[in-house]
């Protein structure tokens, strides 16, 4: 067969180069080996198989967009991890705040409980009652001592009165002789006696007014004590009761001090009265010893006894009022002790309500934290699953890319070898050299395979249709040399390409 002398070089070389460039671009851009297979269509496959395995540009774009979307999801995992770390840090801050609140609430509750126990505890009330009782005992002892001194003074007065009576009996004889001399001076003595009586009446009226004031204050105290402490269910009522007890104690103390002052005044008045009586007696004895009458002395003694009896009756009355107030105070203290169990129950109920409120709040907060941790765990598991799926998909995509690149490189090497063989054959045909000169010739099968590939990539080229009909002829020696030299070069090229990819 004659060689192909009329076949030009550019129309064959340029479509093959374009085909090689398109295969390289699609192999690098796409992630699946099926795209390259669809473009190449399989060198030894038929036209129907090529049409079935081919992809459109829209499908390629959709695949690329899906790969980009998955890569964006992979890039967003770092942001999600940062968000999870922020959420965990916020949860840690919330837990620290909750622990601080629990510690502060525990300290506040301990202080509150301690203050309640100190203010409303039975030991504190008993101590206050013991203190009040001790002070009342001290005041009563002091009043007893004052009464004892008053009785001693009365005994001394009685002794002196006895002495006076003895002297009066001795002087009765002399007095009868002095009656006439004393009649003139008796009027003076009556005037002084009337003045003394007026002073006594004023002191007695003042004492009655003071006793009425004491009675009114005691009645107000009794009215204030008539409140029922069983109607006081909480701490405010206990505080009110404590204030009333303190006010009662202060009122009793003030009244006892007032009574002590009154007793001192009475003692001073009695001392003054005794001194005045002594001075008057000495004056009467010295001046009117002869005219001093027995009737006047008996009248003075009767007045003195009467005043002493009145003072003793008033003192007994005041002492009875003091005893009644002490009894009322003790009754109220016993009533408070009887209601102590109810007050303790109320305090326990209030503290239990506070503890239940705190427990409910902590339980709700713990449940909310547990729900947050569960949602975070589920979100983390979902993200781990998505990351695993994306990693597996990336691995498969990288494997497919490697395979497509290897396959495309092999195909490019083969096409390059075919182009070189065709170019050599065309050069030999154009130059008109003989096969005996050692130049390479082209085989008909190589030309047909190259032309078939070009027909798949570009069906509209009329020059390729013309070249298909022509069949070049070569000698048997060139076919053998080409058959021997071709596989070695392709094998070497494929091996080098695979080594470079690895």
pLDDT in tens, 173-194: 665 665 566 556 556 656 655 6
- Single pTM value for the model: 0.25
> In this structure, are 375 and 245 located in the same domain?
no
Q: Is residue 340 part of a domain?
A: no
Q: Is residue 111 part of a domain?
A: no
Q: In which domain, by residue range, is 199 found?
A: 125-335
> In this structure, are 286 and 162 located in the same domain?
yes
d(CA 219, CA 286): 53
Q: What is the pLDDT of residue 291?
A: 55
Domain boundary among 315, 335, 355: 335
**pLDDT one-digit tens code per residue, 321-334:** 878 877 887 777 77
* The total number of structural domains that make up the chain: 2
> In this structure, are 258 and 377 located in the same domain?
no
Q: Is residue 341 part of a domain?
A: no
Which tokens go with 203?
Answer: 């002191």
CB burial of 226-244 (b: ≥16 within 10 Å; e: otherwise) equals eeebeebeeeebbeebbeb
Using alpha carbons, list the distances in angstroms from residue 264 to 218, 259, 274: 21, 8, 15
> In this structure, are 31 and 135 located in the same domain?
no
Domain boundary among 292, 318, 335: 335
Q: What is the mean pLDDT of each run of 10 residues along the chain (502 residues)?
A: 39 45 49 39 43 60 75 71 80 82 80 70 68 78 78 77 72 62 58 62 64 63 51 58 68 70 74 74 64 64 78 79 78 75 78 82 82 82 82 80 82 84 83 47 44 42 40 42 43 44 40
Q: What is the pLDDT of residue 318?
A: 77
Q: What is the pLDDT of residue 201?
A: 66
> In this structure, are 300 and 415 located in the same domain?
no
Q: What is the pLDDT of residue 208?
A: 62
Place of tokens 């013991």: 130
Cα 366 to the chain's mean position, in Å? 12
Q: What is the pLDDT of residue 294?
A: 63
Which tokens go with 135?
Answer: 């002070």
Q: Is residue 55 part of a domain?
A: yes
Q: Is residue 158 part of a domain?
A: yes
Q: What is the pLDDT of residue 199?
A: 65
> In this structure, are 72 and 184 located in the same domain?
no
> In this structure, are 130 and 219 located in the same domain?
yes
> In this structure, are 67 and 129 located in the same domain?
no
Q: What is the pLDDT of residue 249?
A: 64
Is 295 in contact with 190 (CB distance < 8 Å)? Answer: no
Using alpha carbons, list the distances in angstroms from residue 123 to 118, 119, 244, 327: 8, 9, 19, 22
Q: Is residue 4 part of a domain?
A: no
d(CA 36, CA 459): 18
> In this structure, are 171 and 311 located in the same domain?
yes
Supply the DSSP string of 212-277, one letter for each residue. HHHHHHHHHHHHHHTS-GGG--SHHHHHHHHHHHHHHHHHHHHHHHHHHHHHHHHHHHHHHHHHHH
Q: Is residue 348 part of a domain?
A: no
Pinpoint the alpha helices (H) of 291-339. 294-338
Domain boundary among 335, 353, 382: 335
> In this structure, are 160 and 298 located in the same domain?
yes
> In this structure, are 329 and 456 located in the same domain?
no
> In this structure, are 457 and 410 located in the same domain?
yes
Q: Is residue 5 part of a domain?
A: no
């Amino acid at each position: 067969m004659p060689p192909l002398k009329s076949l030009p070089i550019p129309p064959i070389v340029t479509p093959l180069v374009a085909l090689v460039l398109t295969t390289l671009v699609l192999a690098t851009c796409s992630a699946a080996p099926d795209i390259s297979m669809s473009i190449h269509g399989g060198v030894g496959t038929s036209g129907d198989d090529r049409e079935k395995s081919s992809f459109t540009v829209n499908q390629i774009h959709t695949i690329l967009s899906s790969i980009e979307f998955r890569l964006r999801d992979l890039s967003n995992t770092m942001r999600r991890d940062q968000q999870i770390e922020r959420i965990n840090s916020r949860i840690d801050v919330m837990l620290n705040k909750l622990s601080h609140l629990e510690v502060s609430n525990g300290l506040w509750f301990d202080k509150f409980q301690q203050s309640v126990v100190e203010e409303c505890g039975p030991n504190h009330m008993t101590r206050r009652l013991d203190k009040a009782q001790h002070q009342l005992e001290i005041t009563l002892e002091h009043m007893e001592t004052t009464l004892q001194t008053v009785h001693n003074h009365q005994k001394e007065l009685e002794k002196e009165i006895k002495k006076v009576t003895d002297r009066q009996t001795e002087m009765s004889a002399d007095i009868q002789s002095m009656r006439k001399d004393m009649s003139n001076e008796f009027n003076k003595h009556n005037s002084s006696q009337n003045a003394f009586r007026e002073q006594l009446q004023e002191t007695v009226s003042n004492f009655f007014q003071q006793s009425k004031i004491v009675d009114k204050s005691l009645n107000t105290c009794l009215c204030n004590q008539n409140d029922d402490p069983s109607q006081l269910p909480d701490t405010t009522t206990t505080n009110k009761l404590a204030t009333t007890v303190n006010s009662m104690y202060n009122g009793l103390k003030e009244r006892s001090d007032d009574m002590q002052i009154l007793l001192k005044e009475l003692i001073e008045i009695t001392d003054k009265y005794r001194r005045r009586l002594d001075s008057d007696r000495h004056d009467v004895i010295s001046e009117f010893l002869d005219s001093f009458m027995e009737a006047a002395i008996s009248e003075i003694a009767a007045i003195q006894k009467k005043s002493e009896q009145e003072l003793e009756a008033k003192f007994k009355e005041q002492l009875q009022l003091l005893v009644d107030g002490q009894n009322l105070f003790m009754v109220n203290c016993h009533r408070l002790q009887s209601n102590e169990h109810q007050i303790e129950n109320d305090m326990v109920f209030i503290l239990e309500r506070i503890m239940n409120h705190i427990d409910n709040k902590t339980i709700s907060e713990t449940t909310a934290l547990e729900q947050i941790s569960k949602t975070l765990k589920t979100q983390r598991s979902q993200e781990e699953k998505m990351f695993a799926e994306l990693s597996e998909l990336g691995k498969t995509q990288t494997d497919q890319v490697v395979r497509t690149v290897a396959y495309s490189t092999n195909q490019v090497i083969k096409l390059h070898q075919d182009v070189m063989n065709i170019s050599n054959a065309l050069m030999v045909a154009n130059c008109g050299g003989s096969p005996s000169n050692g130049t390479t010739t082209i085989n008909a099968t190589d030309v047909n395979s190259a032309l078939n590939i070009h027909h798949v990539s570009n069906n509209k080229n009329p020059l390729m249709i013309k070249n298909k009909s022509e069949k070049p002829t070569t000698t048997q020696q060139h076919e053998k040399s080409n058959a021997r030299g071709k596989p070695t070069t392709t094998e070497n090229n494929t091996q080098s390409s695979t080594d470079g990819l690895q």
